[in-house]
Each structure stands twice: as structure tokens, then as C-alpha cells.
Chains A and B, each alone.
Chain A
């Protein structure tokens, strides 16, 4: 075929907005889970390595190496998903939108891509020379810090692009306005914390999984059951007579400690998310009211409740993990930890109340039910964000903080017995990791769908039509109650 004829017949790759969106969502959610783990675990590896150096603690050194190794193992796959995402999915399925975005954020994208090169050099150098650099640990730590800075900047630059799509600063495309668009810094802070929490959750999962794997076949005899039928409940019990080897015991102790280390990071960092996320939402309200309305009152409001539920679950599961460890160790304050967990459950139940018993506020109004449920309507004032949900979130943060602090205090006083964990506690850590992962996915769906029907808010539609009709910023137009 003649090239000219071929070129003149070129058309966007087929597929509906829905299918194209689903394909992008699957790839990007996968990419985000990998990229955020690498970024977050890079910071945690530095912390672990620094503690190892300061205290001459081998456990922390081993954990730092494990994190670096895991980064190497998934870096190529994470990059491949990014390349698949950019080269094939966006360029093929969303060509007009992507070309426009590339042109607007050209330099941001160039620097973002360039950081890949620096990361490859640093990460593989650190990993390949880990043993050799063992005699120069400060130099190795310095390289890890450099890698972390690079990863953070890369995240910041991609956040600039992502946030610009939501709040394009009234169409001003100067570099400074892109970088300081209203949601760029809130999103970066939100993600920085989220990365650390996610990395902590992954580490908790790795630790818990290995613990469960190593204690899988352990059995303890009971008076009324044949020997070897009842699952072992703790390493302490195993030490009675069924410890296979000292080496295995050391391994089990290590993974138990790793799981605990990860859970503390995951829960403690997530404690910052309610108000950091609230601040982020506030900027969306001020600068992209339509998107905010969709999140809080519109079609995504119920999905947002799932997000709050998952956040509450992180605190509850964390408290459950702490409580199980404290009870097993006979630590003082276990009762208080249980009370905190109950309080967190109640506060989560309050926070996830829908504000209306309908699809959205608009549905409630359309059904003529814009009055309270006790008057036969569809509104539920108890589920109002202000002040009830805010009070519930403040309560969740306070009690969550108390829960973490209480456990950390018991740990620092030596009240948590190493090897005293139950398999149930480790399963809790596994569920916690899955919860954090789900939360990240739901957050991605929320953010990317909130600005619909736009890909760049007010500038390009989902059907890749360029428009100058910026979304209304008037709350009256949006029917704010």
C-alpha cells in the first residue's frame, strides 16, 4: 500500500471510552502499586540502614538489604508497565489528549523520564555492590539517600502532571504555574505519606507471609488430640519441645519483627492521611469545584465512603494486631488497646454514614426526599461531613495515634515478647496489606473519575474534544445543599 494512502487513512485506535479507560486503569494501578512501593521503601531502607549503623543492629541491616533487593526485582517490571502505559495505551488510545498533555508538560515529562536513568544507575550500583560497600557503609547510605531524592523528585514531577490534569490553573501553562498548581503540593504530600504507609504495609505482608510459611507445619500436642494435629500458637510454645532448629527459630523471630516493623509504619503514616487528604480535598473544592462535588455529593460520593471505610479498617486492623501481640505478651495496657479498637470501630461506623439514602444528593432531591429520613425523606443529617464526619475523622486520628503510641511504649519498655506472636496476628498483618492496596486503587479511581467528563479539567473532554468551557466554580450551579 502506498504510504500516503496509509497515512491519510490513519484513525485513532478503536474502543469505547469505557474499555479504553478500563485498560488504562488496570495498567496504571499496577504501575502505581510498584512505583509507590519503590519510592516508599527507598526511604524506609535508609531509615533501617541508618538505625543498623547507629546501633550496630544486624536485623535492620538485613531488612534494608531486603528492601533494596525487592526494589531491584520489581523495578524493571514497574518501568515496563510505565512504558506500556505511555507508548501504547496513551499514545494509541488517547492520542489527542496525550499529545496535548505532552506538549503542555514537556519539560516536566523530560525531567521525569531522565530520572529513570539516574535511578537505574544508582539502584543497580547499590544492589550489585552491596557486599563490597559493606566496609564503606556511609558511602552506601549516601547512595541510598541520592536514590531516594531522585525517586522523590520523579514522583513530584509526575504529581505535577497528574494534579495539573485536575486543576490546570485556569489554563495557564507556564512551568511555574504547572509546578505550583493548587493541588500539586497537596497531592505530593498525600502521596509521600501514602508511599511510606504502602511500603510499610508491603513489608508487613512479607514478614507475616514468611512467618506463616515457617510456622505452617508446627504442631503442639494436646491431651485430647493426637500429637501433631493442633497448629502451633506461638514460638514460645514451640520452644517447649517442638523447635526444629535454632536457625529456623531465628528466622521466625526475624520475620515476626519485620511484620511488626511494617505494621507500625503502615498505621502510623496512615494516621496523617485524614487531615492531609482533607487539605487536598479542600484545594480541589476551591479550584475544581465540579470534581469536588462529584466526590462529595455526586456519583462518586459512595465510592468515597468506601475509601473512608478502608482508612478506618487500617486503624482497626493495626489496633487488632497490636492488641493480639500485647495480649500474647501479657503486656500492661492490652485492655486499653482493646478499648481503643472498639472506639475506632464505632468512629469508623460514624464516618462511613452516607449523608443520604440514595445514589447521590441529586438523586435525593430528584426523588423529592430532600428532608430527613425521620420525615420520610432520603437525607441522613448524621452522615453530614461537617461537623459529624470531621469529628469522627478527628476521633479516628486521636485514637489511632493513641493505639500506635501505646504499642510503641510497650515495645520500648520490653513488654512485647519476641516470638510471642500468634499466627492470627500475622494474618491480620496480611489483611492490613491488602486493605492498604485496595485503598490505593480506590483512591486512583476516585481521583481519575472525579474530573469527568474531562481528561484535563475544563480543557479536553473524555471524547478528546478540546474545549474552552471551564467547569463552573459556582457552588450554586452545582446545587450545593
Chain B
């Protein structure tokens, strides 16, 4: 009866009725409206697009990963064969692997740029501390996904990467050996190591990642995009308090941001997220994805010889994004130094990075007014870059 009555109505009325029914039950239009019609700072829109591009690349990794799962077999006997089949016998298999690999490279690069942008603009300061914490954790998760992904092909490179990486926890005092045994499923790398690494790569880390992405986006919407100091300047010829007061009065949601100095509670000029910011987000994401598609097609993803634990001549080389860490291990070759270097220096560095908003609590936003964080950060950045260069030189001279 209901169906026949619905079918007898004019088409437009039918569509309108269906949309109203859907809206009543889900509130989708309202949600979409909330999502699209938020104010964002006018200046620096291309820089903010790095965040959206990061999300787009994560989704690309998700979808290309799902396609790879259709063929990949996580066992030491079949992992390499399944990927070799993709390379030689599947029409688009090699391309999809290439997409997944180049997508991960680009993702690491873009999320790094996004963090640098956020750091330089001091967007992590009150009340956006948790935005930064979730973002920093996401960065480490992306690195975790990259390294566990590199272990899965179970070719020579993957096998020896697994041997090196799963051995690192061993240098941790007291609990190191336990963690290594737990990950490896025994004293040595074997079938259980691969299945556990596979589970970490496709379930544990993505679960954590998408939970954090949800939190990150929620917090972004709650406090609004900070932008940078350039969005909060005032005319020196006019009364500053008056200008700020006026700005706050005519601020559009989500501004004025609460629990922040009045000066930084609302940008001087804003634009709606749709279409002004969204178009920039789409363009940047589309360009990056296009580059990834082309690189995936041209370069693909390498597949080494099948793994051979008995070989004595194979020298494992790290992925480019782990070159600095690898070089760090070269200059810290003995047990106490590895423990100090990896778990002391790097651990402290990672902790400082995650808890940065709780360390840098000054109200200053301009980089030159924040030497207490900019100088150590430059020092760290320089260290990472130089270790990467030295790593390249060392690999050449192996």
C-alpha cells in the first residue's frame, strides 16, 4: 500500500519525500551543513590544505591496501609468491602495489610538512593542545605502518628488515627481550613474526589511527583552525582592544575560540570552508594523488629475491625515511650506546614532540619570538637531515 502510493506520486515529489524521510531519520543534511559551512582563516589556505591532503592520502592507503589484501597471503611460504603473482600475472597488481608504496612515501612527507606548518605557526597552543597530541601520535602511527608494511613482502629486504627492526626492543632494559619474543613469536624471526606483523599492520595500527583521526577532526572543528599569527595582526594606528573586540563580536562559528588570549580568539578575516577552503583541499589532494598514480605506474614497487635466512652476503638497507635512525645506530654501535641513543635520546625527543604544547606555554606565536622552541627544533631538524645525508653516503660505500 505504502509502496504503491509512493510510486503513483510525481518523480520530483517522490525524491523530495525520500530526502525528507532520510533527513528525519539521520539528520544528514544538517550534518553536511555543519561540516561545510564553518569559518576558516582567510590567509594561508594552501598551508591548511596539508591536513586534508594527509587525510586523503590515508584513505588512498586504505583503499589500495584493501585491493592488495585480495591477493596477499600472510605466510612465509606464500607471501612472496602472492606478490610475485601480482607483479607478473595480475593486470593492475603491480600498479596497485606501486600506489600503496608511493602513497606511503608521499603520506610521510606530507604529514611531516603538516606538522612543520603547525609547529611554526604555534597552532598547538592552548586550547589546541590535544589537536597536536593526536596529530603527533598519528605521525608515529604512520611511521609504524610504513615499517610494518615493509616487512610483509617477505623478500630478502623484508626479511632482513624484520630481523633488524624486531631486534631493536632487545636493547630496552628489563622488558626488551620480552617484547622481542612477543613480536617474533619466539627467539628468532619466523612464520609467527610475519602473521603478527601482518595483524599489527592491518588491524592494530589502522584501528588506532582511525580512532585518532576521528578525535583529531572533532577537536579541529571544536576549536577551529588557528591558522597563523598573520591572521591576528592589528592596525597599529587604531586602538588594539577596540579592533579585537569588534573582531570577536562579528566572529562566525567556531570562533571565537574559548580559553585563549582574546587577541587570538578570532581571526581578522575568515572565509567559509565551502567553497573557499574546500577547493584548495581538493586541488592539493588531487595533485598529490595524481603524482602517486603516475609514480605507481612508472616506478611501481620493488620486489627483491625470496627471503633466505641462510645468506651471509645480503646487506639490508633501510627505507629512506628510516635512514636517519639507521645512521643513528651506526654511530651508536655498542649496547649501552644503542640503549642510550634509541631509547634515551630518541625517546626523550619523541616525548618532547608529543608533549610540546605542555612545554611551550608562552603566549607568543611568531617563530622569532619563540627561540626557546625554535632553536632546539632547528637543531633536531638539522640532525635528522644530516643523518639522512650521511646514511646515503654510507649506503653508497657499503
Contacts and interface: CB of A to CB of B under 8 A. Distances in A.
Contacts of A363: none
Nearest to A278: B331
Contact of A279 (B370, B390, B392): B390
Contacts, number: 70
A181 B393 CA distance: 8
Interface stretch (A16-24, A37-45, A208-216, A402-410): A402-410
Given A387-B336, A390-B337, A182 B372 contact: no
A406 to B, nearest CB: 8
Contacts of B174: none
Contact of A180 (B345, B370, B386, B393): B393
Contacts of B376: 401, 405
A413 B330 CA distance: 40
Contacts of A200: none
Given A279-B390, A287-B397, A405 B337 contact: no
Contacts of B370: 412
A411 B336 CA distance: 39
Interface in A271-286: 271-272, 275-276, 278-279, 282-283
A386 B372 contact: no
A180 B382 contact: no
Given A189-B390, A412-B369, A401 B383 contact: no
A182 B379 contact: no
A405 B371 contact: yes
Contact of A409 (B327, B337, B371, B390): B371
Contacts of B393: 180, 182, 184-186, 283
Interface string A376-414: 000000000011001100100000010011101101110
A169 interface: yes
A55 to B, nearest CB: 9
A268 interface: yes
Nearest to B332: A390
B11 interface: no
A338 to B, nearest CB: 18
A404 B390 contact: no
Contacts of A283: 390, 393-394
Given A283-B394, A387-B337, A394-B345, A405 B389 contact: no
Interface string B74-108: 00000000000000000000000000000000000
Interface string B317-330: 00000000001001
Interface string B354-398: 000000000000001111100110010011001101101110110
Given A279-B331, A387-B337, A394-B345, A408 B371 contact: yes
B337 A185 contact: no
A386 B337 contact: yes
B375 A404 contact: yes
Given A278-B331, A282-B330, A287-B397, A405 B372 contact: yes
Contacts of A169: 397
Contacts of A282: 330-331
Interface string A242-277: 000000000000000000000000001001100110
Interface in A213-228: none
B283 interface: no
B340 A387 contact: yes
Contacts of B390: 185-186, 189, 279, 283
A268 B383 CA distance: 13
A406 B390 CA distance: 30
A413 B364 CA distance: 10
A412 B331 contact: no
Interface in A177-205: 180-182, 184-186, 189
B337 A180 contact: no
A182 B334 CA distance: 21
A283 B383 CA distance: 17
A182 B386 contact: no
Given A180-B393, A386-B337, A279 B327 contact: yes
Contacts of B383: 272, 275
B394 A182 contact: yes
A289 to B, nearest CB: 14
A272 B384 CA distance: 12
A276 B331 CA distance: 10
B330 A412 contact: no
A381 B344 CA distance: 23
A403 to B, nearest CB: 11
B202 to A, nearest CB: 37
Given A169-B397, A180-B396, A182-B397, A412 B336 contact: no
A378 to B, nearest CB: 24
Contacts of B386: 189, 272, 276, 279
Nearest to B378: A268
Contacts of A386: 334, 336-337
B126 to A, nearest CB: 19
B375 A401 contact: yes
Nearest to A190: B386
B19 to A, nearest CB: 54
A57 to B, nearest CB: 12
B247 to A, nearest CB: 26
B385 to A, nearest CB: 10
B375 A408 contact: yes
Contacts of A184: 393
A275 B397 contact: no
Contacts of A408: 371-372, 375
A110 B394 CA distance: 27
A422 B250 CA distance: 52
A409 B394 contact: no
Of B327, B383, B390, B397, the most chain A CB neighbours within 10 A belong to B397
Contacts of B369: 412-413
B378 to A, nearest CB: 9
Nearest to A387: B336
B181 to A, nearest CB: 27
Contacts of A186: 390, 393
B305 to A, nearest CB: 26
A158 B387 CA distance: 22
Given A390-B337, A401-B375, A272 B330 contact: no
A373 B378 CA distance: 43
Of B327, B370, B371, B394, which is in contact with the most chain A CB atoms at under 10 Å from its CB? B371
A286 B376 CA distance: 30
Most A CB contacts (10 A, CB to CB) among B327, B389, B390 go to B390
A181 B379 contact: no
A184 B345 CA distance: 27
Interface in B293-309: none
A184 B393 CA distance: 8
Contacts of B345: 394
**Interface pairs A-B: 8 shortest CB-CB:** A408-B371, A185-B393, A182-B397, A409-B372, A405-B375, A180-B396, A387-B336, A282-B331
Interface of A: 169, 180-182, 184-186, 189, 268, 271-272, 275-276, 278-279, 282-283, 287, 386-387, 390-391, 394, 401, 404-406, 408-409, 411-413
10 contacts: A181-B397, A182-B393, A185-B389, A189-B389, A272-B379, A279-B387, A282-B331, A386-B334, A394-B345, A409-B371
Given A279-B331, A401-B379, 8 more contacts: A180-B393, A181-B397, A182-B394, A184-B393, A271-B379, A387-B337, A391-B340, A412-B368
